Every structure is written in structure tokens, then in C-alpha cells.
């Protein structure tokens, strides 16, 4: 149970709101479990035709909670709350729309690769700082990004882990529209309403076709990434990165081979 994820169903749209602003909406195991439950609920409930993921006008999510990450991930990646979340999202049968404002870090960016439409405020800051944290790409990003935006751009985003803007994300084809932050959620909700009024079986078929022949390869990649990610979480490089984050200093990787 967590108070940091709120769900509500209105007009056949399941809105899932991440709400832990004092920690920039960083996602804990309990929050992932709530997100997992929401996706499963949407899949099972014929009355839900669309899922909307959102945060606030200032923040989507700072990604995984780094203090929890520091103690590693227990067991098989696909059974962990984060692993389950990524796999459930990649296999969701109902369309998923996202409203992003402010930081969308780590999984806050990679989860978008599995969603159907993304609306982002001009204040959005996307980032995949996995390598910077001594980790490796997750969420199928090592497969999807090179094929969608090109190898060298994917390498830049995943190896240097810098932030990029909503305009950049739009140019890269990662989002549908750049919005005034006060209007992002309304724009996303409007897309949800249109999706909810479409013939549902046709939408499900279209969604399935869009994930197409790459789907098996994607699942395999996500599992490979997940296993390596779990291993990297235990690495001295990651330990130094997490310590540095907690101590609000730059990490020092100069002594690592």
C-alpha cells in the first residue's frame, strides 16, 4: 500500500497520478507495485479503455528511488516491482497516454518508449543517467532507442546521460506534442478521451500491431538488461554514485578500472 500513487476512473479512463513531490516523485518498490496493480486492473476491466500516467505541473518522476536502489534488487529482475512494471507496461493491452512536466529521469524517460502517446510541458527535462550511476540501460532502451533515433544519438543519451528538453524529445520523435506546462495534462486527457471513444477492439489490435515483430526481441532484451542492471546495482561504481548523490557531491570514478 502507498499513498504516493493515486488512481481514479472517469469516463473509461484510468488516471494514475504519481504524487511524492517532496522526493521529486522518485519511485519506491511500493509505488511500482501500485503502478503494476493499475496496469493489471486496466487490462482486466472492460470498462477501462485507456490509461493516463501523470505527475504534477512541476514534476513527472525522478526515476527510481536511489536510497532503495542502494540496497539492490532482490531476486529475479522480472519478479521485482520495477521489472514487473516494465514488462506489464510493454505488454499492456489498453492504450497508454502520458503527461510529462519537469523531470522525467531514468525510468521516467524509458517508460515512455512503451507508451502510445506522450505530451510534455516546455519545463520537461528528460534524462537517462544510467551509466552516470554505474548502471546500464533498462526498459528496452538499448534496443529501441538506436532503432528509433539512430545509434549515435542513442549512445550520446545513454553514455553521457545528459538532460534533453521537450523540444529535443519532439525532434527525436519521442513525444507527440510540446505544451504549456499548465495545459499538458489537459492535452493528454483530451487524447485519452478520443482513444476511449474509438472502437476498443480496433484500438487493441492496432496497439498489438504497433509493437509488432520486435516484441519478442524486446522482451528478451529487457530481461538481459534487467539481469545486468541488477548486477551493476551491486558494483563499486554504483555504490560510489549513490553515495555521491546522498552526499550531494560529484561522484569520483577515477580509481575504477
Between 95 and 103, whose beta carbon lies closer to ligand COA?
103
Distance separating the N- and C-terminal Cα atoms of the chain: 42
Provide the minimum distance between the beta carbon of 28 and ligand COA in the complex, in angstroms, as a whole number: 9
* Strand 96-100, strand 117-121: pairing: parallel
Between 36 and 65, whose beta carbon lies closer to ligand COA?
65
Is-contact 196 97, C-beta < 8 A?
A: no
Q: Of the listed pieces 20-28, 77-85, 114-122, 182-190, which binds ligand COA according to CB under 6 A?
A: 20-28
Rounded Cα distance, 221 and 89, in Å: 15
Selection from 16, 105, 20 nearest residue 53 by Cα: 16
Between 189 and 233, whose beta carbon lies closer to ligand COA?
233
Write the interaction track for ligand COA spanning residues 127-156; mark x where CB under 6 A is met and - where it is not: --xx--x-----------------------
Q: Per CB under 6 A, which of residues 87..106 are in contact with ligand COA?
A: 103, 105-106
Task: Name every residue whose Cβ is closer than 8 Å to that of residue 116 and which is 6 or more positions away in sequence.
Answer: 95, 96, 97, 195, 207, 210
Q: Which three cell numbers stand for residue 207?
A: 496497439
67 near ligand COA (CB under 6 A): yes
Neighbours of 11 (CB within 10 A): 11
55 near ligand COA (CB under 6 A): no
Between 95 and 108, whose beta carbon lies closer to ligand COA?
108
71 near ligand COA (CB under 6 A): no
Residue ranges in contact with ligand COA by CB under 6 A: 23-24, 26, 62-67, 103, 105-106, 129-130, 133
Amino acid at each position: 500500500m502507498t499513498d504516493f500513487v493515486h488512481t481514479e476512473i472517469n469516463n473509461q479512463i484510468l488516471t494514475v497520478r504519481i504524487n511524492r513531490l517532496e522526493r521529486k516523485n522518485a519511485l519506491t518498490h511500493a509505488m511500482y507495485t501500485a503502478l503494476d496493480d493499475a496496469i493489471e486492473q486496466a487490462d482486466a476491466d472492460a470498462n477501462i479503455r485507456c490509461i493516463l500516467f501523470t505527475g504534477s505541473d512541476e514534476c513527472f518522476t525522478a526515476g527510481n528511488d536511489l536510497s532503495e536502489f542502494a540496497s539492490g534488487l532482490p531476486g529475479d529482475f522480472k519478479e521485482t516491482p520495477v521489472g514487473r512494471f516494465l514488462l506489464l507496461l510493454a505488454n499492456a493491452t489498453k492504450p497508454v497516454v502520458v503527461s510529462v512536466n519537469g523531470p522525467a529521469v531514468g525510468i521516467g524517460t524509458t517508460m515512455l518508449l512503451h507508451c502510445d502517446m506522450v505530451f510534455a510541458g516546455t519545463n520537461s527535462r528528460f534524462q537517462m543517467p544510467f551509466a552516470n550511476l554505474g548502471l546500464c540501460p533498462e526498459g528496452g532502451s538499448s534496443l529501441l532507442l538506436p532503432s528509433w533515433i539512430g545509434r549515435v544519438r542513442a549512445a550520446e543519451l545513454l553514455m553521457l546521460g545528459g538532460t534533453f528538453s521537450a523540444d529535443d524529445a519532439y525532434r527525436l520523435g519521442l513525444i507527440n506534442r510540446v505544451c504549456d506546462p499548465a495545459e499538458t495534462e489537459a492535452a493528454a486527457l483530451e487524447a485519452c478521451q478520443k482513444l476511449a471513444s474509438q472502437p476498443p477492439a480496433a484500438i487493441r489490435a492496432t496497439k498489438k500491431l504497433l509493437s509488432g515483430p520486435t516484441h519478442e526481441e524486446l522482451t528478451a532484451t529487457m530481461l538481459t538488461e534487467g539481469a545486468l542492471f541488477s548486477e551493476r546495482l551491486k558494483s563499486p561504481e554504483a555504490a560510489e554514485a549513490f553515495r555521491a548523490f546522498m552526499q550531494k557531491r560529484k561522484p569520483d570514478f577515477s580509481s575504477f578500472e
